[in-house]
């Protein structure tokens, strides 16, 4: 059972939400507040998993309320549920709100958004890490790629296509632009899993405002460099993404699934970026410990932090509203056998691609060799000969 606080100054809207949420009473316990001050009072008195606030309210609007919630109650997942709002108001909500849901919102969409975020969150045992991820509103980008985006946006000849192409070369920018386009911040009501498509839908002028005025992207800080080589991380991620897309196609995936495999590969290690930039000293110490043993680094992460970069990255992507196949693949890419139900092709492609790339790297290094999950492949019907064929076809 998850507990959700709904906030709206319109009593009729609250009455409608009350009726709507009754049908989900076996899964969601709902409470209702009539103002930002009332909501903060209830948050002081009781524990909630999520807050869903209207944007346009007197005295304290939704952006102001969620800013307070982010600071004072960092574990709580934050949504804006609102009708038409001025662009300036939506810009102010970009930081404090994880997702923006447009009125009218289908009941099932609201339920799924709430339950999905909480379900992935529960894989993180550490309340401190939950709070850490909940407070992130931007991730650092490779400085050279960040500079290219700015140059293209400032250029009188800048193009949507070129901006989308540049963004797709950086994992942090890719995640952020997909959050913006998938969370209805700007009224786009379709699922998008391509950075280039996201930029086309938003338009060059809006993207320019978001990047230059609002600052939705940021540069990597050299103070985190001892913890992670961001250029190497991005190269690895893009290589895995490209390979995962080709493997998905070989496995008979649809074009949409193959594209999701590409994105899942590009984003599968974003949890490493979170740990390296938000817990720099701890991450450096953890990597030193991992270098002395035979365990894969992700298992050492789990011992050190109580969870791995896979779960941390998946939680952030779920908060940001990215498509579920991508979130699932990122969450289980090291332990695909743990996923419930029919093994999804996006996860299978990502797991194989990451294992193949890591196995190639391990031949030239002293790091522990990473093996593919043979039991999982057998369960999915992929024989050793098929795996060898994929290796030959995709890596050569």
Give me the phi and psi of 80, to 5 degrees please. Answer: -105, 130
Q: Which of 164, 215, 214 is nearest to 193 (CA)?
A: 164
Task: Determine the pLDDT at residue 366.
Answer: 46
| CA 118 to each of CA 4, 76, 134, 136, 349: distance values in angstroms, whole numbers, following the listed order | 11, 10, 11, 16, 26
For the chain, 396 residues long, give each residue's pLDDT as a single digit of tens: 999 999 999 999 999 999 999 999 999 999 999 999 999 999 999 999 999 999 999 999 999 999 999 999 999 999 999 877 777 788 888 889 999 888 888 888 889 999 998 988 888 888 899 999 999 999 999 999 999 999 999 998 889 999 999 999 999 999 999 998 887 777 777 778 889 999 999 998 999 999 988 888 999 988 899 999 999 999 999 999 999 999 999 999 999 999 999 999 999 999 999 999 999 999 999 999 988 888 888 999 999 999 999 999 999 999 998 999 999 999 999 999 999 888 899 999 999 999 888 877 654 444 445 568 888 888 888 877 777 777 776 665
Q: Which of 213, 202, 210, 200 is nearest to 165 (CA)?
A: 200
- Measured from the Cβ of residue 32, the count of other Cβ atoms closer than 10 Å reads 20
| Residues forming beta bridges with residue 51, ordered by sequence position | 5, 78
Task: Determine the pLDDT at residue 396.
Answer: 58
Question: By the 8 A CB rule, do 244 and 330 touch?
Answer: no
Task: Determine the pLDDT at residue 363.
Answer: 47
| Residues forming beta bridges with residue 78, ordered by sequence position | 51
Question: By the 8 A CB rule, do 238 and 266 touch?
Answer: yes
DSSP, residue by residue, 346-359: HHHHHHHHHHHHHH
Task: Determine the pLDDT at residue 196.
Answer: 92
Task: Determine the pLDDT at residue 375.
Answer: 84
Question: By the 8 A CB rule, do 230 and 360 touch?
Answer: no
The whole-angstrom separation of Cα 58 and Cα 36 is 9
Q: How far is C-alpha 294 from the geometric centre of its chain's CA atoms?
A: 30
Q: What top-level class would CATH report for the domain 2-122?
A: alpha beta
The whole-angstrom separation of Cα 326 and Cα 261 is 7
- Residue ranges per domain, the chain? 2-122, 143-219, 222-394
CATH of 222-394, one of 1.10.645.10, 1.10.3210.10, 3.30.70.260, 1.10.10.10: 1.10.3210.10
Task: Determine the pLDDT at residue 394.
Answer: 62
* pTM exceeds 0.75, yes or no: yes
């Amino acid at each position: 059972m998850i507990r959700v606080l709904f906030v709206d100054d319109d009593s009729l809207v609250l009455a409608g939400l009350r009726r709507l949420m009754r049908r989900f009473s076996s899964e969601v316990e709902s409470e209702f507040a009539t103002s930002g001050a009332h909501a903060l009072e209830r948050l002081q008195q009781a524990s909630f998993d999520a807050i869903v606030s209207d944007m346009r309210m007197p005295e304290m609007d939704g952006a102001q309320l969620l800013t307070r919630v982010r600071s004072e109650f960092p574990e709580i997942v934050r949504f804006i549920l609102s009708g038409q709002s001025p662009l300036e108001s939506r810009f102010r909500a970009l930081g404090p709100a994880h997702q923006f849901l447009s009125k009218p919102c289908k009941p099932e969409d609201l339920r799924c958004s709430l339950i999905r975020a909480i379900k992935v969150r529960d894989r993180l045992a550490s309340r401190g890490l939950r709070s850490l991820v909940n407070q992130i509103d931007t991730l650092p980008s490779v400085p050279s790629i960040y500079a290219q985006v700015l140059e293209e946006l400032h250029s009188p000849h800048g193009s949507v296509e070129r901006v989308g192409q540049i963004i797709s070369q950086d994992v942090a920018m890719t995640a952020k632009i997909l959050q913006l386009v998938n969370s209805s911040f700007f009224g786009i009501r379709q699922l998008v899993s391509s950075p280039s498509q996201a930029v086309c839908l938003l338009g060059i002028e809006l993207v320019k405002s978001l990047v230059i005025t609002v600052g939705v992207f940021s540069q990597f800080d050299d103070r985190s460099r001892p913890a992670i080589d961001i250029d190497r991380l991005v190269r690895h991620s893009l290589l895995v993404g490209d390979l995962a897309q080709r493997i998905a196609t070989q496995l008979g995936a649809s074009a949409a699934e193959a594209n999701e495999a590409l994105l899942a590969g590009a984003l599968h290690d974003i949890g490493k970026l979170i740990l390296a930039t938000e817990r720099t000293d701890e991450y450096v110490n953890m990597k030193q410990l991992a270098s002395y043993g035979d365990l894969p680094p992700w298992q050492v992460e789990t011992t050190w932090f109580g969870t791995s970069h896979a779960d941390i990255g998946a939680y952030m992507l779920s908060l940001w509203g990215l498509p579920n196949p991508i979130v699932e693949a990122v969450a289980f890419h090291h332990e695909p056998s743990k996923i419930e139900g029919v093994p999804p092709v996006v996860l299978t492609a990502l797991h194989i691609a990451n294992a193949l790339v890591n196995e190639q790297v391990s031949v030239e290094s002293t790091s522990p060799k990473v093996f593919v999950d043979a039991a999982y492949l057998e369960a999915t019907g992929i024989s050793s000969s098929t795996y060898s064929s994929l290796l030959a076809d995709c890596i050569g």
